[in-house]
Amino acid sequence: MRIGELAARTGMSRDTIRFYEKVGIVAGRRLGNGYRDFPVETVPWLGYVRTAQTLGFSLAEIARHGAELGAAEDSAEALSALFAEKISVVDARMAELAALRAELEARVGTGCPLAKSPGGSGAAMSHAAAPGQ
């Protein structure tokens, strides 16, 4: 199918599909008249791409995992493994964000929260002594 039909069937713009082709997410062939021609399987694949992006996967991850999933004997098992891996990444990021939040909370009301760590050494910088003041 040509890019216009693919765009209509997926709800994606032609530019998005061209970009996905450029980065290796989809592959189309060129017809003699220069038009792109995509296999019908591209429609559900682009649905997967959209869902994977919503679930936090980058385009690089989607491109890499797409090849892995295509070669997997059991795609459901392979997908479950990818999801478990992504959950670990999300959990680690959530722990980092929780630590950042705690650090920010500890600095609330300290006058100049960037001058020193709470409970740490060093004098707080007064507004009069701040650089650029």
Kindly report, residue by residue over 68-77, the tens digit of the pLDDT.
777 777 888 8
More confident residue, 104 or 122: 104
Kindly report, residue by residue over 17-50, the tens digit of the pLDDT.
999 999 999 999 999 998 999 999 999 999 999 9
Is the pLDDT at 118 greater than 60? The verdict is: no
**Average pLDDT of the residues of the chain:** 86
Q: What is the pLDDT of residue 22?
A: 93
Neighbours of 27 (CB within 10 A): 12
